[in-house]
A = this chain, B = another copy of it.
Amino acid sequence: MGFIPPKSHMAVLLKDFYKPLVIEHIPTIEPKGESVLVKTIATGICHSDIHAWRGDYRPAGLPKKLPIVLSHEIVGTVVACGDGVPKPLLNRKVLVYPWQYEEEDEFTLAGLTQLGRKRRRLGLDVDGGLQEYVYVGHYRFLVDVEGLDDVPALAPLACAGLTTYRAIKKLINYVGPDDYVAIVGLGGLGSYAVQWVKTVLPYVNMIGVDVREEAIEFASKLARIDCIVNPSKVNPIDEVLRLTKGRGVRAVVDLVASPKVVATYINVLDTKGVYVLVGHMGEEGVTIPRPRVIRNELTIVGSYTGSLSEQHEVVNLARRGKINYSAVVTARYRLDEVNEAFKSIEEGRTLGRQVVVM
């Protein structure tokens, strides 16, 4: 192991909510046992990073510490390993699975990695990707990406790509070959979701929903969406019922999940339909029409990021060309442009996803 980790390295720190992020040197942690040190190649900026920066998660006690290094969508190179790490990992390019845990429990043992009772989420519970070197507590959280093109653009597959993959996969046991599926929200998450529908459920009819014409156009280039509904132009319930000959859709994947959106689109579900709640974290409740839920046996289910197994699947599908991840990344910032990047995403001026490249 020729590489000697430096004593310290550059990191972007969140010190005060909604103030500019600060670039400073912080100590580099030397990996021991089964932990590794990853030199960051690129790291994505997620809407939840914006929320954390603004302090929106303070009611939930997050982030767990201040200052913290945000971002959880990381690709990099393994530069140092503890002595419990298999040798061939050194110098490999990897994607870092961010939904880590400290101790195994009944969920992690059953393969539900992301639902572990003692979560240690990068960028939220511990330091994340906006730094030169990222410490990863166990090598099991690394997914090899050697040989893949455009490595920086892989970064968002650790959250946006993974989250939508799990949400779409949940539909497999609900939708049949002739059913309609609505994807509500064609922004960053939606850019992956419409592609996963084509990869995982190619036999269904896909309806894409968004109020922004430019988002509709962007997503439509990534995957052939069978029908578009723009609720700023038509009554969305009437329109979906018209498209489905009065039956409604078998599944809604709601990537917005605001109370108003849920209250609308749960009414276009056909009998035995499923409503998948995804999307960013807010604190509000949403209201569902109890009698319809009962009489038509509807299911409402939350979907949270994805498991480590699913992270491997996502990377493998990327390797086999089943998802166009490069085209989703619409902006690549330098580390010193990070405040500009946050501002731009906060103001909703972006399509697809954005990464910071070291």
Q: Contact residues of A with B, CB < 8 Å? A: 33-34, 60, 84, 86, 103-104, 106-107, 109-113, 115, 117, 140, 172-173, 176-178, 199-200, 202-203, 257, 259, 262-263, 271-272, 277-279, 281-304, 307-309, 312-313, 316-317, 320, 322
Quick check: B291 and A288 within 8 Å, CB to CB? no
Quick check: A278 and B301 within 8 Å, CB to CB? no
User: Smallest Cβ distance from A61 to chain B, in angstroms?
Assistant: 13
A296 CB contacts on chain B under 8 angstroms: 115, 302, 304
User: Smallest Cβ distance from A288 to chain B, in angstroms?
Assistant: 6
Copies of the chain in the assembly? 4
Interface pairs (22), CB distance under 8 Å = A109-B312, A172-B172, A173-B173, A177-B316, A177-B317, A178-B316, A178-B320, A199-B202, A200-B203, A262-B290, A277-B293, A281-B291, A281-B295, A282-B290, A284-B290, A285-B289, A286-B288, A287-B288, A288-B288, A288-B300, A294-B302, A300-B300
Quick check: A279 and B302 within 8 Å, CB to CB? no
A259 to chain B: closest residue by CB: B290
Our pick among B263, B297, B301 for the contact of A297 (Cβ within 8 Å) is: B301
If the complex has contacts A288-B300, A312-B106, are A200 and B172 also in contact, measured as CB distance less than 8 A? no
Our pick among B33, B104, B313 for the contact of A178 (Cβ within 8 Å) is: B313
User: Smallest Cβ distance from A266 to chain B, in angstroms?
Assistant: 10
If the complex has contacts A287-B286, A288-B286, are A302 and B309 also in contact, measured as CB distance less than 8 A? no
Our pick among B111, B200, B317 for the contact of A111 (Cβ within 8 Å) is: B111
Quick check: A111 and B110 within 8 Å, CB to CB? yes
Our pick among B106, B257, B287 for the contact of A309 (Cβ within 8 Å) is: B106
If the complex has contacts A300-B299, A302-B296, are A107 and B200 also in contact, measured as CB distance less than 8 A? no
The answer for the CA separation of A282 and B291 in the assembled complex, in Å, is: 6
**Max chain B Cβ within 10 angstroms of own Cβ: one of A257, A289, A300, A320:** A300
